[in-house]
Chains A and B, each alone.
Chain A
Amino acid sequence: MIVRIIQADGAEAEVTVKYAALTPEVESVIAFLQGKNVTLSGKTEEGTVQLKAEDILYIETVDDKTFACTADEVVRLDSSLTALMEILDGISFFRCSKSMILNIDKVERLKSLPSNRIDATMAGGEHILISRTYASDFRKRIAKGGR
């Protein structure tokens, strides 16, 4: 595989993957670029589990404990929201309130609410409120399509 790295002043960071056939090697590069390789370690009643970031709907802090919610399970994580955002910032996660991070890829519908707040309906049907403090950041994030 040929790797070209070009530094261009003022250019937006961009990665183009050019391939003839979607080989496992190419797939793994694409998955890495999309952040699909990011996994988090957490605990459930059955023990320690590895959680793919792309499966997470949202991450929430309740009583200083952090939980990641997927479509079918809730996993307790050891890290704080701030530490998690360091890992998940590059992919489709967004800090939507002081106690919550949501996965934008798992949002089904958005609704504009009074006082510049946004209601996000997740794939599981849950409603998450993006507070006005974070709403303007959220609008910018999805408007520029920045991932």
Chain B
Amino acid sequence: MKNSGRLSLWERYLSREISIEFKACLYFFCVLFYYGVYRLCTGRNTAELLHMAEMILLCYAAGYLQVYVLWNFDEAEKLGKKETAGLVICMLIYTAGSWLFNWLDRSIAATAGFAAWTAVMFFSAFLVYRYRRILDDKKLNEDLKIFQARGGESAT
């Protein structure tokens, strides 16, 4: 067996870091979108750079927490109790961040909407990851059948 494709400890660490990076970018974009819509709805067509910096830093911090502490719930096989708890905790962190950093002018209605938005965002990410695995299952099983058939065909 060739070992060239086997992941080293460093590669596994790097792959996890990239996954956190990807999550941070994805969730930052979703948060920024809500923030942008809120700003437009309240008659402002500019975004605060400081708010954006706070958002991306919060997304990174929450990404680390999510992957290393909260069972990486959006990539989980199913949304069980602990994964749902992880989702709610992250939703609360984002909501608390929006309140603390005053992204939404501490408006209760906008903050409640933001909480719902983050819950939908995490749930959508969970569905996307799950669907990607379903597609991956199909490819893996097709490859497996071809692999096994090659052995059988060569005997006929």
Residues 65-96 of chain B: 1 if any A CB is under 8 Å from the residue's CB, otherwise 0? 00000001001110000000000000000000
How many positions in chain B have a CB within 8 Å of any CB in the partner chain? 28
Chain A residues closer than 8 Å to B137, beta-carbon distance: 110-112
Known contacts A30-B154, A136-B7, A145-B146; decide if A112 and B1 are in contact (CB<8 Å). no
Asked if B6 lies at the interface with its beta carbon under 8 angstroms from chain A, I say yes
Residues in A neighbouring B147, C-beta threshold 8 A:
92, 104, 141-142, 145, 147
Query: Does B141 make an interface contact (CB < 8 A)?
Result: yes
Minimum C-beta distance from B81 to chain A (A):
17
For the residues of B in contact with A, the DSSP-based class is helix
A34 touches B129 (CB 8 A): no
A33 to B141 Cα, complex, angstroms:
25
Instruction: List B residues at the A interface (Cβ < 8 Å).
Output: 1-7, 12, 15, 72, 75-77, 129, 133, 136-137, 140-141, 143-144, 146-148, 150-151, 154-155
27 pairs, CB–CB < 8 Å, chain A vs chain B: A30-B155, A33-B154, A34-B154, A85-B1, A89-B1, A110-B137, A110-B141, A112-B137, A112-B140, A114-B133, A115-B75, A118-B140, A132-B7, A132-B12, A133-B7, A133-B12, A136-B5, A136-B6, A137-B2, A137-B4, A142-B146, A142-B147, A145-B143, A145-B146, A145-B147, A145-B150, A147-B150
7 further A-B pairs in the complex, CB-CB below 8 A; given A109-B144, A132-B7, A147-B147: A34-B154, A113-B133, A114-B129, A114-B133, A115-B72, A132-B12, A133-B6
Q: Which residues of A contact B (CB under 8 A)?
A: 17, 30, 33-34, 85, 89, 92, 94-95, 104-105, 107, 109-116, 118, 132-134, 136-137, 139-143, 145, 147
